[in-house]
Amino acid sequence: MNIFAATGNLTLDALRETGRVSIFAGQGALAWFSGPFYWRAFFGALVRIGFTSLPVVGLTAIFTGAALALNIYDGSLRFNAETFLPQILSVSIVRELGPVLAALMVAGRCSSAMAAEIGTMRVTEQVDAMSTLAVDPFKYLIAPRILATTLVLPLLVLTADIIGIYGGYLVSVYALDFAGPVYIQNISEFIEARDVVTGLIKAGVFGFLISVMGCYYGYTSSGGAQGVGSATRTAVVASAVVVLASNYLLTSLFVQV
């Protein structure tokens, strides 16, 4: 086979997969609006995805905020701009690091869990059994997870924003001799609603994409334990990649140069 044919086939495969994922995402979202909505499954997903992700998202945020404070201080010293540390730190966290890091943590934790759960149900025929019991697996398994992740990720990101800024505060006040009240005042005067809101919109989009990836690769998995294993792996990699790629696209929409 020549290299052009190979490249062409790869491209076609990628396009086909993108098409299938898009249709899946559309069906998942449509399922919110038609027929029964399974509240119990939705709240279960909300707790599993949101509540249990709090510790890991919090830890990520506080250490990142702390390290960021040191780096910004060191960098801005070179042109005597270290007093702007709180402003730079907060805008970096709220716009970029909070959404992206929280989304990556959730991608690792939750899209893999979704792919494994739904994939196991698929290969053990539990998904088929559900259909024969007159319950649409799309409505029972997919729609609640996608909706829950889309709604809960902005909340997690808001938490990550606050904890991340607090991490920066700890370092600034206890290691870099900033005055606590000044740090907080600088940030509250500087940060605009736009900064926070764009970050939260990003988070919602990331949540949607992460859960679509987890559900899609689980739902379409086949071939026993190995199939579920590779579905899980693909789901994590795919959701991390779409988070990073869509992050750039969204940022370029929000930041008009």
Partner 1 sequence: MAKTDMKISVRNLHKKLGPRQVLRGIDLDVAKGQSLVVIGGSGSGKSVMLKCIIGLMKADKGEVVVDGRNIARHTEADRRFMTKQSGMLFQGSALFDSLRIWENVAFRLLHAEKSSRKAAQKKAMECLAQVGLAPEVGDLTPSELSGGMQKRVSLARAIASDPQILFFDEPTTGLDPIMADVINNLIVERVKALGATAISITHDMASARKIADEIAMLYQGCIIWRGKPDEIGNSDNPMVDQFVNGRAEGPITMSVKHV
Please report whether residue 13 would count as binding partner 1 according to CB under 8 A. Answer: no
Tokens of 129: 């059994």
Least CB distance to partner 1 at residue 135 (A): 5
In contact, 191 and 169? CB cutoff 8 Å: no
Q: Which amino acid is at 39?
A: W
Least CB distance to partner 1 at residue 41 (A): 9
Q: Output 54 or 130, the one with its CB closest to partner 1.
A: 130
Least CB distance to partner 1 at residue 240 (A): 26
- Is residue 192 helix, strand or coil? coil
Please report whether residue 254 would count as binding partner 1 according to CB under 8 A. Answer: no
In contact, 101 and 60? CB cutoff 8 Å: yes
Least CB distance to partner 1 at residue 31 (A): 13
Cα 114 from Cα 236, distance rounded (Å):
10
In the stretch 130-149, what mask flags binding to partner 1 with x, by CB under 8 A? xxxxxx----x---------
Please report whether residue 1 would count as binding partner 1 according to CB under 8 A. Answer: no
Least CB distance to partner 1 at residue 161 (A): 33
Look at the block and give the residue holding tokens 């086939």: 9
Question: Where in the chain does DSSP place strands (E)?
Answer: none
Please report whether residue 128 would count as binding partner 1 according to CB under 8 A. Answer: yes
Q: Output 41 or 151, the one with its CB closest to partner 1.
A: 41
In contact, 207 and 149? CB cutoff 8 Å: yes
Q: Output 11 or 34, the one with its CB closest to partner 1.
A: 34
Span 153-182, contacts to partner 1 by CB under 8 A: none
Q: Output 19 or 36, the one with its CB closest to partner 1.
A: 36
In the stretch 25-44, what mask flags binding to partner 1 with x, by CB under 8 A? -----------x-x------
| Binder among 57, 88, 121, 205 for partner 1 (CB under 8 A) | 121
| Binder among 76, 87, 126, 251 for partner 1 (CB under 8 A) | 126
Cα 246 from Cα 202, distance rounded (Å):
8
Tokens of 90: 């907060």
Cβ-defined contacts of 195-199 (< 8 Å, 24+) = 195/90, 195/91, 195/94, 195/95, 196/94, 196/158, 196/161, 198/95, 198/250, 198/254, 199/94, 199/95, 199/96, 199/98, 199/99, 199/157, 199/161
Q: Kindly list the residues in this chain that would bind partner 1 in the complex (CB under 8 A).
A: 36, 38, 117, 120-121, 124-126, 128-135, 140
